[in-house]
A = this chain, B = another copy of it.
Amino acid sequence: MPSAHSSPPTRRQLLTRIGTLAGSAALYQAMTSLGHAQGTDFKGPPALGGAKKGTKVLVLGSGLSGMLSAYELRKAGYDVQILEFQSRSGGRNISLRGGDTVTELGGATQKVGFAPGNYINPGPWRIPYHHQGLLHYCREFGIQLEPFIELNHNSWLHSTGAFGGKAVRYREFASDFTGFTAELIAKAIDQHKLDDLVSEDERDHLRTAMKSWGGLAKDYTYKKGNTSSLRRGFARPQGGGIDGAPIPSDLFARDDVMKSGLWNWMAFHERLDMQTTMFQPVGGMDQIGKGFTRQVKDLITLNCKVTALHQDQKGVTVTYNDMANGGAVRQAQADYCVCTIPLSVLSQLDVQVSDAMKAAILAVPYASSVKMGMEFKRRFWEEDDQIYGGISFTDQQISQISYPSHGIFSKGPAVLLGGYMFGPAAYDFAGMTPKERLERALTQGTAIHPQYRKEFSNGVSFAWSRVPWTLGCCSMWTEEARKTHYKTLCSVDNRVVLAGEHASYIGCWQEGAILSALDAVTRLHKRALGAA
C-alpha cells in the first residue's frame, strides 16, 4: 500500500485497521455504525505484495476463482501457473451461441442452432447490486454491464392447481393479495379483534398503513373499482379521446388467491439475491470469463486432467493427463497450490490433505439443475403479451420462463430461458434425451404461452449433472455440514488452499467464487510469508 501519512485514512483503510486490531466483532460494530455493511463482504481488492521471489503457486481450474487467484497472486509477485481441464477457460461462466456444441456425460451431443447474436447463459445469468466483489472486477477488467430485468409486474404467474390452471398477471395477483391482506387487517381492527395484539395508538397507524399499502378504497375495503384497477390493470384500459374512460377489472376471489401458492413468487422478489437492481454483461455472461481470461491468459494451460494432488514439507506435486497429447501423464511442481476444482470432482481424486479436510471435501452435496435455451421466431412475449424482460413462474417442472433483458423491441428470432429445473425435475430432465427435454418444455410452456409451438425455432438444454468437470451445478451446504466442516474446508492445509463458490457463504453465485478466492490468496500469502 502507498504511504498515506499525508492524507486522512479512507473509510476502507479505517475499517481494515479496526479489523486488524480488534477482530471481526469490532469490525462489525464499526461497519454498522458507519452504516457501511451493505453489499457482500467485499472489502476491496487485497493489497498483498512482497512475495518471496521465485515462489511458485499452481492454480487448479480457470473458473473465476482460479483466474482471480492467479491474477492477485501474480500481482503479489508469485510465479503462477494455471492448469485447466477443459479446452476453454471460464468455468461455469458460459454463454452458448449458434455453432457451439454441448456434449454430455452419457454421450448426447447437441449443436446449438441459434441465430447470430443470440445466446443463452446456462450457468450464472444475473448479478445482484450487492455483489460488489464481482462488480469491482468487472469494472477493473473493462466488462460492460447492463440492467437485467428481474421483477416484471406484467409477467405471468401460473399454477396448474390455481385459477383453473390459467396464468394470471403478476400485477393482478400481487394487487389482490396485498389488497385482501390489508382489508382483513383493517376489518379486524375495526371489529376490535386485534385489541390484545396491537396497542390503540399503533392500531390507528396500522389502519392507515393498510389503506395506503393495500390500495383500499375510501371505506377501507378492497373492491372492484378504479382504485384496485390502477394497480391490477383495467378490463378496458385508460384511453384517450371521447371514449377514453376505463372499465375496472374484476377481482379474483380472496380464497382463490390465498390457496394459490402464487404468493411464493412475490416472496421470491424480496430475497436479497433477487432484489433490484440486477445486471448482466453486455453480450452474454461469458464476457466476464473472457474479461478475466484476458488478465491471465498467458498463465493457463488447457486440457490438463488432474488426477492427483500431493504435498510434503517442500512443495506440492500435481499429476495430470495432458489431453492435448494423447493423455500423456505429466507432473507440475510448485511451492503452493490453490485448488478450485469443484468438490464433486475433487472428492474423486487422489488428494493428499488432512483427514479433516478430506471429510470436508466429502461433506458438501452438489445441486443439480437443467437449463433450457429456446429460440423463437419472434418476441411474441413482447409483441403479444407486452412482457419486456423479467420472469414468468409456474409450478410445472420448467419452473420459470425468463425473457431476455437485451434486444428488447428488436425484430427477428430471440432466445429465452425456457426452463430452469432443479431438484427432482432436474434429475427427470437430465434423464431424457435433449429432444425429449425440448418436447417437455414446449408442452409445459404452452400452458403459459399458447403461441409457443407455433413460434418455436430450436433449442438447447444444459444438464449440469452431466457436465464432466463439475458433476452438478453448485455446492449446497447443509446447516449441519457447515457447522462441522466449513472452516476446515477454507483453511490452508499445509501448502494447499481451496477456493470457489463452495468455500463461501454465497454458494452458487459468482460472488462466492470471487470472495473465496480473495480470502484464500490472502491467507495463502500470509502462510508463504510466514514460511519464508
Interface pair A244/B188, CB less than 8 Å apart: no
> Is the C-beta of A435 less than 8 angstroms from some C-beta in chain B?
no
Whether, in the assembled complex, A347 has its beta carbon less than 8 Å from a beta carbon of chain B, the answer is no
With both chains docked as a complex, state the minimum distance between the C-beta of A183 and any C-beta of chain B, in angstroms: 10
Q: Which of B149, B231, B514 has a CB less than 8 Å from the CB of A277?
A: B149
CB of A158 within 8 Å of the partner chain: no
Q: Which of B201, B241, B266 contacts A516 (CB 8 A)?
A: B241
| Contact with A32, one of B235, B239, B275 (Cβ below 8 angstroms) | B235
A31 closest partner in B (C-beta): B236
**Given contacts A188-B193, A209-B263, is CB(A175)–CB(B277) below 8 Å?**
no
CB within 8 Å of B: which A19-72 residues? 24, 27-28, 31-32, 37-42
Contact A389 B277 (CB under 8 A): yes
The answer for the CA separation of A364 and B263 in the assembled complex, in Å, is 41
Min CB–CB distance A486 → chain B (angstroms): 8
Q: Nearest residue in B to A38 (C-beta to C-beta)?
A: B386
A212–B175 touching, CB < 8 Å: no
Residue of B nearest to A175 (CB): B270
Complex CA gap A154/B272 in Å reads: 10
Distance between Cα atoms of A277 and B271 in the complex (Å): 19
Across the interface, do B244 and A515 meet the contact criterion of CB distance under 8 Å? yes
Could you tell me if B408 and A267 are in contact, using CB atoms closer than 8 angstroms? no
Residues of A within 8 A of B (CB): 24, 27-28, 31-32, 37-42, 129-130, 132-133, 135, 138-139, 145, 147, 149, 151-154, 169, 171, 174-175, 177-178, 181, 184-185, 187-188, 191, 193-194, 196-199, 201-202, 205-206, 209, 212-215, 229-247, 249, 254-255, 258-259, 263-264, 266-267, 270-273, 275-277, 279, 385-390, 405, 408-409, 486-487, 490-491, 499, 503-506, 511-520, 522-523
Known: A31-B236, A145-B409. 6 other contacts (CB 8 A): A28-B247, A129-B152, A129-B386, A240-B511, A241-B518, A241-B523
Top 3 nearest A-B pairs by Cβ distance?
A241-B519, A240-B515, A41-B239
